[in-house]
Amino acid sequence: MMRTKKNIPRIMRLLLGLILMNAVSYAQVRVINNFDKNWTFIQEDVSEASKAEFNDSKWRRLDVPHDWSIEGAYDKANPTARGGGYLPSGIGWYRKSFSLDETMAKKRITIEFDGVMANSDVYINGFHLGKRPYGYISFTYDLTKHLNFGKGKTNVIAVKADNTVQPASRYYTGAGIYRHVRLVATDQVHIENWGVYITTDDATAAKATVKVQTSVINETVKATQVTIETTILDPDGKIVKSAQAKQNVEAGKSFQFKQDIAVANPKLWNLETPSLYKTLTKVSIAGKVIDDQLNTFGIRAFKFEAATGFWLNGKNFKLKGVCLHHDGGAVGAAVPLAIWESRLKQLKEVGVNAIRTAHNPVAPEFLDLCDQMGFVVMDETFDTWNSAKNNGEKGYNRFFTEWWERDTRDMVMRDRNHPSIVIYSVGNEIHDDLNSPAGFKKYTDQQDLVHQLDPSRPVTMALFRPANSKVYTNGFAEIMDVVGQNYRENELVALHNQKPSLKVIGTENTHVLVQYLALRDNPFMAGQFLWTGYDYLGEADWPEVTNNQGLFDRAGNWKNQSLQRQSWWAEKPIVHIVRKEENAGAGAWINNWTPTDFDTYDDSKVAVYSNCNEVELFLNDKSLGSKTKPADDSPRLWDVTFEKGTLKAVGKNKGKVVVTEELKTAGKPAKIVLSVNKNQINNSWDDVAFVTAKIYDADGNLCPNADELVKFDVSGAGFITAVDNGNVASHELYKATQRHAYRGSCIAFVKANEPNGKITVKATADGLESSSISLEVK
């Protein structure tokens, strides 16, 4: 089976099959793709788990990826505290038994983990393979010398994930083998791990040179003549061109093949049409293919300019970005790909075109999605160096000195073929002294290593309070490829005005108007990354357990800031109505026209977010006047005396109606209505359907104040993997089949457990008409 370096999404797997059938032959190199399945787990420290023999009767059987922390109960006393979202910590052990045919005995067998949280120890048949403290990093171990082969012989992988030292982070980390695992078999002469590197620096629409570097290692005891053949496949799977090279590779040594392959009239990777090519690299000895690898890449050219910001394929535009943490809300750190796909689609609706991975390496399939969907990415390594952020924090700062080089190397080597990545960040709000030779060296060591591994991309870091750290006056900013700063946009603008040769970007920004204008009105500002795209677990003060600064809440519900941001960043006509909650603080605007017991708002402040030239507001078909678009894109405001009925905003361009929105007063809750985001799913860990329950009155109006307990029942070929409602102060369990509605709705995440069939979901609540919905499994 083809040896690939990624977990390929389902659509790409189908394309891969067509490519292989129609284009090229390939080597019989075995990848056990279902190594995620049939593990056992126990949440305690059991020393015998590292041994080959064990009694697993008390162990829970499950598949990975798995996050056991999200399964627990919220408790203010949990040692994870505000950073970890008050969810449980401790030690978890995973074990898996497997057999290997005798024919595999001459192969090199490795295991690949995309991420284990955290401080992992891995054993094979009782032998300790190694430890990796950083839970976000992908890593590989060679199992070959410690395996049993043949009929009746078994092998046992054991993994310890130790999260006992707390608080370990400023935000939720999760716990366990929370990303995918693969078992890989290769010949003794093979492509090294992450050994194919592809760049397209001089790409244009007329031509491009695809530069492919392939590192092949010879782990035999004698020199071997190796032939490399690299074939480029276009986005339709057709062969574009091939190149071949030969080299005598010494025993125990590796050799880096370098091939430049010209491509005429390439389909360029961009945000609108993110075209993806592939390289198929085949390694042969004496005419026999003994290893191969398929890698995805995009043909594009980009740059950061000091005066004009970011350019992609000759087009200058702003990076309209968001920061994203690695959790998926109710599913914790073990996030099915379908959840990321849904979230990225919502961000596209707002007008977002860039993602910052805050503040750590992400799952590789997340970057695959960014490649496929047309986002550019700032790929980030660390939240801390040596200095902790908070009093008592015991996180990566304990390991930075020993591990930064290995972890940085592994992230860059793994990620460098993704066309979506345009810049690396080596730190976020670092508290180490950057006004010292030691601080300078820590940064330059990291930047130099990234340049060595991937000279095609610049490096930045998210600077923190530059006036205090002196980085704008001591020469530190001048050594950065691109100067990145969190917040305080006026300082970054002033820096560039004083030193116009510097390239600058906002690495973390809030949702307010003045920060939006700093990007809009300054051509040299390459982009901004809002804090954040989605609410994320942790970094919240009890009783809140989730940070609520996202454009969207955990359940994907739109918020005031996403409605306003869409009016600033989206291309299509936008109009959204919000009203001021009379008894709430500044910025508390909500998108409904229904009073609560505490807020009758006889006189209401109403704002309309819109990018239209003119907006007219109506209450029960009576015009309340029109307002033109302000020069600073601020919302248009009306004072409105409340009446039950319909509030309507009409957006016009050049006198023509282009968009409208209505808000209606709701009566008493009467019924549940279910909807689902798609009618079909497959029996894959990475696929999930979102079944949303909304509470309506008898006339079909959403009841935004409804908070009834909704109970979900599933029958057929599926199950509920989690429930949520987006409420940042809710302490209900996520691994459940019921949830209180919040602002009139809640959601159940449904997966398949059969290869085919029908899933039916029913939702009930006391005093309300029930609802049901079905979807297919194929």
Say yes or no to pLDDT of 557 above 50: yes
**Active-site residue identified among 508, 614, 616, 708:** 508
pLDDT tens-digit map of 386-397: 999 887 789 999
Q: CB under 8 Å to 501, separation ≥6 — which residues?
A: 306
Say yes or no to pLDDT of 455 above 90: yes
Contact 741/712 with Cβ under 8 angstroms?
Answer: no
Say yes or no to pLDDT of 587 above 80: no
CATH number corresponding to 188-297: 2.60.40.10
DSSP string, 500-514: TTS-EEEEEB-SSHH
CATH of the domain spanning 318-564, picked from 3.20.20.80, 3.30.420.140, 1.10.357.10, 3.40.630.30: 3.20.20.80
Say yes or no to pLDDT of 682 above 60: yes
Interval 406-415 mean pLDDT? 98
In this structure, of 233-242, 387-396, 531-540, 576-585, the range with the lowest mean pLDDT score is 576-585
- Please count the other Cβ atoms lying within 10 Å of the Cβ belonging to residue 421: 22
Tell me the percentage of the chain whose pLDDT exceeds 70: 94
- Each domain of the chain, given as residue ranges in start order, spans 32-186, 188-297, 318-564, 572-664, 671-777
Say yes or no to pLDDT of 599 above 80: no
- Give every strand in the sheet of 139-142, ordered side by side: 31-32, 181-186, 108-113, 139-142
pLDDT tens-digit map of 234-244: 999 999 999 99
Q: What DSSP designation does 302 have? A: E
Q: What pLDDT is attached to residue 202?
A: 87
User: Is 581 among the residues known to form the active site?
Assistant: no
Question: What is the average pLDDT score of the chain?
Answer: 93
Q: What pLDDT is attached to residue 214?
A: 98
Say yes or no to pLDDT of 459 above 50: yes
pLDDT tens-digit map of 323-378: 999 999 999 999 999 999 999 999 999 999 999 999 999 999 999 999 999 999 99
**Helical (H) or strand (E) element with 448:** helix 437-453
In this structure, of 88-102, 498-512, 596-610, 674-688, the range with the lowest mean pLDDT score is 596-610
- Sign for the CA dihedral angle at 401, 404, 405, 410 comes to positive
Say yes or no to pLDDT of 732 above 90: yes
Residue 191 pLDDT class (50, 70, 90 cuts): very high
Q: What are phi and psi of 539, to 5 degrees?
A: 50, 50
Domain 572-664 has CATH 2.60.40.10: yes
Do the domains 671-777 and 188-297 match in fold? yes
**Both tokens assigned to 771:** 């609802």
pLDDT tens-digit map of 102-116: 999 999 999 999 999
**Beta 376-380 vs 614-619: how paired, if at all?**
unpaired
Residue 53 CA neighbour count, 13 Å, CB half = 0
From the list 510, 389, 348, the residue with the least C-alpha distance to 82 is 389
**Active-site residue identified among 429, 489, 581, 616:** 429
Interval 583-604 mean pLDDT? 66
In the chain the first and final C-alpha atoms are separated, in Å, by 23
Q: What pLDDT is attached to residue 22?
A: 38
User: Is 616 among the residues known to form the active site?
Assistant: no
Interval 541-556 mean pLDDT? 97
Interval 491-503 mean pLDDT? 97
Residue 582 pLDDT class (50, 70, 90 cuts): low
- Sign for the CA dihedral angle at 146, 149, 154, 158 comes to positive
Q: What pLDDT is attached to residue 19?
A: 38
Q: What pLDDT is attached to residue 53?
A: 77
CATH of the domain spanning 32-186, picked from 2.60.120.260, 2.40.50.140, 3.40.250.10, 3.40.50.920: 2.60.120.260
Tell me the percentage of the chain whose pLDDT exceeds 90: 89
- Higher-scoring residue by pLDDT: 393, 542: 542
Q: Which CATH superfamily is domain 671-777 in?
A: Immunoglobulins (2.60.40.10)
Say yes or no to pLDDT of 95 above 70: yes
pLDDT tens-digit map of 151-183: 999 999 999 999 999 999 999 999 999 999 999
Q: What pLDDT is attached to residue 46?
A: 87
Say yes or no to pLDDT of 12 above 60: no
pLDDT tens-digit map of 34-50: 799 999 999 988 888 88
